[in-house]
Amino acid sequence: MTSDCQKLSSVLQLWDKSLVLERLRQMRNTQTMAELQLQSPGRQPTIRDVAELAGVATSTVSRALSNPGRVNRVTRERIEEAAAQLNYIPSSQARGLSSGRTQTVAVLVPDITNPFYFDIIRGAQHQLKAAGYTQLLVDTEESAEMEADALQKMRRSADGFILAASRLTDAQLAEAAAQQPLVTINRAPAIAPTVVIDTPSAIIQALEHLVSLGHTRICFVGGPATSWSNAKRWQAFQDETAERKLTTFSVGPFPPKTTSGAAAADAAVHTGATACIVFNDLLAIGMLQRLRERGIRVPEDMSIVGCDDIFGADFCNPPLTTMASPIEQAGRVAVSMLLSRLNPQYGGTSRRLAVMPTHLTVRASTGAAPS
Amino acid sequence: MTSDCQKLSSVLQLWDKSLVLERLRQMRNTQTMAELQLQSPGRQPTIRDVAELAGVATSTVSRALSNPGRVNRVTRERIEEAAAQLNYIPSSQARGLSSGRTQTVAVLVPDITNPFYFDIIRGAQHQLKAAGYTQLLVDTEESAEMEADALQKMRRSADGFILAASRLTDAQLAEAAAQQPLVTINRAPAIAPTVVIDTPSAIIQALEHLVSLGHTRICFVGGPATSWSNAKRWQAFQDETAERKLTTFSVGPFPPKTTSGAAAADAAVHTGATACIVFNDLLAIGMLQRLRERGIRVPEDMSIVGCDDIFGADFCNPPLTTMASPIEQAGRVAVSMLLSRLNPQYGGTSRRLAVMPTHLTVRASTGAAPS
DNA sequence: CAATTTTTGGCAATCGCTTGTCATTGCTGT
DNA sequence: ACAGCAATGACAAGCGATTGCCAAAAATTG
């Protein structure tokens, strides 16, 4: 290593100078690097260690690592080698402090244990990782307050936000959107850039499917009142059923969990409907369980259509007819939209709206209407 | 607001001073705060803005907010009010830079879409949040390499790590544990502090259950070869079946996904066993689907016992007999163990090992052995 | 009321990195 | 061989907090 350095120094004629500097540093600290490392083995190498080892200034190291084009290839390679040798990782804190960016995006979901969000999380994670960002996952527990709180508290620690199925009011959302870059998933596009999963059009497919099976009395089982998707689905349901002159009912709102399925099932049965379109699969699966308990056969006595095609929809009993959508892709697209806003220089079409297609996946929970 | 300030100033007689300071600042910047905010609306208030508004030094603000005991109550309240008024949130970056801690813990899981980890993630999230920490979620995609990589890359950005079902070798793990504080879940306790879910004892319960139903030919369906839990379960299975003089088989390893269930089911059927103990529920549910396709009835022709009692185990068809454990609690305990290491001053028993109890939950996938 | 102890709060250095400014180097063309 | 230019790298000033040290103020005591 010494011979390497000397070789370098003869080329660069900086050896004396850096020797002197090093000497000074040592005197200031009254301890050598080795001693330092010895006394605190956990000490992380800094950009200065790299600069010293490579025989250049710290600014050169910085530029070599974060703006490779601006530095001589040979020098850059030398620096990279030094960095590798020291196992150097830049401190994201320090980097963020001076650059003003954290290279971090917060993803807020209402319920981390709801399988619907897994794929969003995973999709977002993939895309973020590819862009060198870190994902901060926050479970807002279906609470608008926690969501607003997280948005405030993390203002400084995230460059942007992905709000999946936000529970905020339009006003709150608009305020948040004004303060920091954010992209919503399944939320009115007017307020902020958004990725919408086109379940309304799937509702139409579902109704067509049910009608073709002879159903005329159909019940909408509603999800959370603060959910924009729920409102949209309900709207589509109303519009479409009115056009077809069907007899409709609605029950709810219910929390989107399997445990709410029992109440939802009982309420739906009580309406006298022969088919249900359910806010989401979680609720639908819960209903399936309750109906089975009560001896109501699915689909012979009652048809059920869920929404989202989550993990479990294919192996529940009976397997659930549901409206499937490319959820992971929605997560990816949301991140792309956010990143193109965060780094406009990389261009990318800054769309304000992306619509994900959906389709009906027919399984065994729907059948001919009871005669 | 002006009147508020004047009231304060008359009490504290600092008004003139802060006026002067403010004036100086303005001259330096040749722009007022208002102008500044106008030209960059996203600008975040800093500790200096708070100090100025409260008429104290930045160090006082810092102490007032992070070490309330060391500052006069009146002053502190004034500072707090100023902070609230400006909607001030300290920059975690800057804070981290000087304090050397990020108040962040990274949680590494092999597969974010595996429901087993949901509860771990949620448990960890809860506990971390309560302690004022932020969770960084990383999906290592069942890859030891990605895991090691994340461990390296995030060395600087996380104060500690939770490794759920680590795929690292013992040597890699030991090296990582030497470099940074970490707690493992379901991993040999010798290397690092760990939370173990006591599935081996559940295996015994499961075998008892199967034997009492008349099964004598039992197959172990194995999970990933690099999984420590798989090894432990296999070990327990061998020990216990040897003692009971049962005829045993084993198939695998299989990736722990429902999609591997088909291969696993076929292999298990081929052995001629009448009951299977399966590495985890994901695999077991996949097997259930395949057996149904092949017309092999569960439990009449073949009994299946899963492991973990994940989301879905209760509503698959037939509902799965499985070994249940308090997974969310495991996540919480892991975080507690990590935090007590990170902040020894708050004491807390620094255990190196926590064992989570498990029990067999009997559902419809097990029944009497075919005669 | 003076002397002493205890609080309280200001100054300035520091954390590790980025980035604007400017001097130096090496290369081109003539 | 030299002026002119581009490319490169050194220097130093921040970024926004924390914290040790010390002075000033307040509270306590004799």
Least confident of A61-65, A66-70, B203-207, B333-337: A66-70
* Contacts of residue B100, Cβ cutoff 8 Å, sequence gap at least 6: none
Interval B319-358: pLDDT, tens: 999 999 999 999 999 999 999 988 876 666 678 899 999 9
Beta strand pairing status for A321-324 and A359-361?
A: antiparallel
Least confident of A88-102, A276-290, B268-282: A88-102
Residue A96 belongs to some domain of the structure: no
Structural contact between residues A283 and A261, judged by C-beta atoms closer than 8 angstroms = yes
Comparing CA positions, the residue from B342, B311, B333 lying closest to residue B126 is B333
Is the pLDDT reported for residue A68 higher than 80? Answer: no
**Same domain, residue pair B188 and B203:** no
**Same domain, residue pair A311 and A335:** no
Q: Last residue of some domain: B90, B111, B128?
A: B90
**Same domain, residue pair A214 and A295:** yes
* B108: β partners: B138, B163
Q: What is the pLDDT of residue B346?
A: 65
Most B-contacting residue of A134, A155, A162 (CB-CB within 10 A), to test interface: A134
Q: What is the pLDDT of residue A347?
A: 60
B chain contacts of residue A90, beta-carbon cutoff 8 Å: 156
> If you ran DSSP here, which 8-state letter would residue B316 be given?
B
What is the token pair recorded at B19?
């006026």
A chain contacts of residue B289, beta-carbon cutoff 8 Å: 314-315
Q: Last residue of some domain: B90, B116, B138?
A: B90
Q: What is the pLDDT of residue B21?
A: 38
Residue B95 belongs to some domain of the structure: no
Cis bond upstream, residue B253 (ω within 30) = yes
Comparing CA positions, the residue from A360, A201, A361, A207 lying closest to residue A275 is A207
Q: Let me know the angle formed at the C-alpha of A209 by A205 and A211, rounded to the nearest 5 degrees.
A: 115
Q: For chain B, how many structural domains are there in total? A: 3
**Same domain, residue pair B344 and B275:** no
**Same domain, residue pair B185 and B207:** no
Structural contact between residues B363 and B321, judged by C-beta atoms closer than 8 angstroms = yes
Is B46 exposed, middle or buried, given 0-12, 13-18 or 19+ CB atoms closer than 10 A? Answer: middle
Interatomic separation, CA of residue A141 and C1' of nucleotide C24, rounded (Å)? 60
Q: Does B131 or A42 have the greater pLDDT score?
A: B131
- Residue B120: give its domain's CATH number: 3.40.50.2300
Q: What is the pLDDT of residue A351?
A: 82
Interatomic separation, CA of residue B72 and C1' of nucleotide C3, rounded (Å)? 24
Comparing CA positions, the residue from B134, B183, B123 lying closest to residue B157 is B134
Please provide the average confidence, as pLDDT, over all residues in chain A: 85
B343 to chain A, any CB pair closer than 8 A? The answer is: no
When CB atoms are compared, the residue of B89, B156, B317 closest to A155 is B89
Does the C-beta of B271 come within 7 A of strand C? no
Does the C-beta of B57 come within 7 A of strand C? yes
Between residue 86 and residue 145 of chain B, the positions with Cβ below 7 Å from nucleic chain D are 88, 90-91, 94-95, 97-99
Chain B, window 74-113: residues with a beta carbon less than 8 angstroms from a chain A beta carbon: 87, 89-94, 96-97, 102, 112-113
Is the pLDDT reported for residue A42 higher than 60? Answer: no
Cis bond upstream, residue B299 (ω within 30) = yes
Least confident of A117-126, A288-297, B346-355: B346-355
**Same domain, residue pair B164 and B69:** no
User: Hey, what amino acid is at A353?
Assistant: L
B chain contacts of residue A341, beta-carbon cutoff 8 Å: none
Q: What is the pLDDT of residue B19?
A: 37
Measure in Å the smallest separation between the Cα of A368 and chain B Cα atoms: 22
Is the pLDDT reported for residue A22 higher than 60? Answer: no
Measure in Å the smallest separation between the Cα of A13 and chain B Cα atoms: 34
**Same domain, residue pair B206 and B303:** yes
Residues of chain B with confidence (pLDDT) below 70: 1-42, 345-349
pLDDT band at A339 (very low <50, low <70, confident <90, very high): very high
**Same domain, residue pair B73 and B169:** no
Is the pLDDT reported for residue A24 higher than 50? Answer: no
When CB atoms are compared, the residue of A91, A155, A258 closest to B156 is A91
When CB atoms are compared, the residue of A92, A112, A258 closest to B118 is A112
Measure in Å the smallest separation between the Cα of A112 and chain B Cα atoms: 7
**Same domain, residue pair A209 and A308:** yes
Nucleotides on chain D within 7 angstroms of protein Cβ: 7-12, 14-20
**Same domain, residue pair A65 and A121:** no
Least confident of A78-82, A105-109, A325-329: A78-82
Does the C-beta of A98 come within 7 A of strand C? yes
**Same domain, residue pair A225 and A208:** yes
Is the pLDDT reported for residue A230 higher than 50? Answer: yes
- The answer to whether the Cβ–Cβ distance between A156 and B92 falls below 8 Å is yes
Quote the domain boundaries for residue B192: 101-196+331-349
* Contacts of residue B34, Cβ cutoff 8 Å, sequence gap at least 6: none
Q: Does A275 or B13 have the greater pLDDT score?
A: A275
CA dist., res. B148 & res. B146, Å (int) = 6
Q: Last residue of some domain: B90, B121, B144?
A: B90
**Interface A:B, Cβ pairs < 8 A:** 117
Distances (CA, A) of A267 to A44, A232, A273: 61, 22, 10
Q: Where are the alpha helices (DSSP H) in chain B?
A: 2-12, 15-29, 33-39, 47-54, 58-66, 73-86, 92-99, 115-130, 144-153, 170-179, 199-212, 228-244, 261-271, 281-293, 327-342
A119: nearest CA partner in chain B? B113
Residue A370 belongs to some domain of the structure: no
B140 to chain A, any CB pair closer than 8 A? The answer is: no
Does the C-beta of B363 come within 7 A of strand D? no
Q: Let me know the angle formed at the C-alpha of A290 by A287 and A293, rounded to the nearest 5 degrees.
A: 150
Interval B102-136: pLDDT, tens: 999 999 999 988 999 989 999 999 999 999 899 99
Is the pLDDT reported for residue A32 higher than 50? Answer: no
Residue A81 belongs to some domain of the structure: yes
**Same domain, residue pair B209 and B298:** yes
Backbone angles phi and psi of B318, in degrees to 5: -75, 160
A40-59: average pLDDT? 78
CA A262 to chain centre: 30
Backbone angles phi and psi of A15, in degrees to 5: -60, -50
Helix, strand, or coil (residue B245): coil
Residue B366 belongs to some domain of the structure: no
Residue A270 belongs to some domain of the structure: yes
Is the pLDDT reported for residue A16 higher than 70? Answer: no
Residue A236 belongs to some domain of the structure: yes
Measure in Å the smallest separation between the Cα of B137 and chain A Cα atoms: 7
- The answer to whether the Cβ–Cβ distance between A156 and B90 falls below 8 Å is yes
Residue B58 belongs to some domain of the structure: yes
* Contacts of residue B250, Cβ cutoff 8 Å, sequence gap at least 6: B219, B220, B221, B222, B234, B237
CA dist., res. A20 & res. A41, Å (int) = 26
Between residue 309 and residue 338 of chain B, the positions with Cβ below 7 Å from nucleic chain C are none
Q: What is the pLDDT of residue B2?
A: 35
- Residue A40: give its domain's CATH number: 1.10.260.40
